[in-house]
Amino acid sequence: MKRAIILFLFFTIRFYTQAQNLTSVNKKPSIQIQCTTPTILSLGQSIKLKVKVRHNLLQEKTGQLTLALINHKTKKSVDGWFLNIFPFQYFTTIQNETFETEFPFTVPFDYLGNFDIEIVARVNEIKDSIHITIPTKKAK
């Protein structure tokens, strides 16, 4: 009987310790970008790209969210051409709150080809990023 109680306590403590370790692994600080991008944009079309940043940080910290627009073929920036005038935005990680913002830009009437949208969210060493290629078409 004494041996059964000792084994029971041993496995109970072991199970509890493993559960605590799993919980602490799940609480690793992280941020996540959520963004729904269009599948195609027309030349001359203006858009407000809606972006959300979720996090599990417990402390308030300042983070930076950036949007870069890049010519898919040449890999050069087209931010100025697309009138991406607010490419950097700052946010504060408030516990249990999601940061939401918009990045306005316009596809030029004379732009041909695809372009890449790169969004990066960073809080100190914690980072998330999205890279999406968007084709363009002539306006009707």
> For the chain, which residues make up each domain, given as ranges?
31-137
User: pLDDT confidence of 76, banded at 50, 70, 90?
Assistant: very high
Q: What percent of the chain has pLDDT over 90?
A: 73
Task: Give the model's pLDDT for residue 135.
Answer: 96
* Helix or strand run (H / E) with residue 90: strand 88-92
Q: Does domain 31-137 have CATH number 3.40.50.2300?
A: no
Model pLDDT for residues 36-72, shown as the tens digit of each residue: 999 999 999 999 999 999 999 999 999 999 999 999 9
Residue type, 47: I
Task: Give the model's pLDDT for residue 8.
Answer: 46
Task: Give the model's pLDDT for residue 60.
Answer: 93
| Helix/strand/coil for 17 | helix
Contacts of 49 (CB under 8 A, 6+ apart): 35, 37, 67, 102, 103, 104, 105, 117
The answer on pLDDT for 74 being more than 70 is yes
Model pLDDT for residues 5-19, shown as the tens digit of each residue: 554 444 455 555 555
What pTM does this model have? Answer: 0.78
With CA atoms as reference, report the closest residue to 55 among 100, 89, 102, 97.
97
